[in-house]
Amino acid sequence: MRIRVDREKCTGHGRCYTLAPQVYQPDDEGSCIIPNEQVSAERSEVARRGALNCPEDAIEIFEE
């Protein structure tokens, strides 16, 4: 699975990296960055949790 954040949509609520810090990280301004867009099977559940809780719908999931 692969994930991607739309930086235009992200407004820095921080819910993704609060709920799923294994996958999402904050940048200096509190917006989301994804250090590794390729997500292992073990982390897919937590990645999904972060994405589904983004109020801006800024995180896209690509099932592969």
Q: How far is the CB of 37 from ligand SF4 (least distance, A)?
A: 13
| Residue of 3, 20, 23, 59 that binds ligand SF4 (CB under 6 A) | 59
Smallest distance, Å, CB 10 to ligand SF4? 3
By CB under 6 A, the residues from 6 to 35 that bind ligand SF4 are: 10-16, 31-32
Question: Which of 10, 1, 5 is closest to 59 using CA atoms?
Answer: 5
DSSP assignment of 3-63, as one string?
EEE-TTT-----HHHHH-TTT-EE-TTS-EE-S-SB--GGGHHHHHHHHHT-TT--EEEE-
Q: Which of 20, 23, 39, 54 binds ligand SF4 (CB under 6 A)?
A: 54
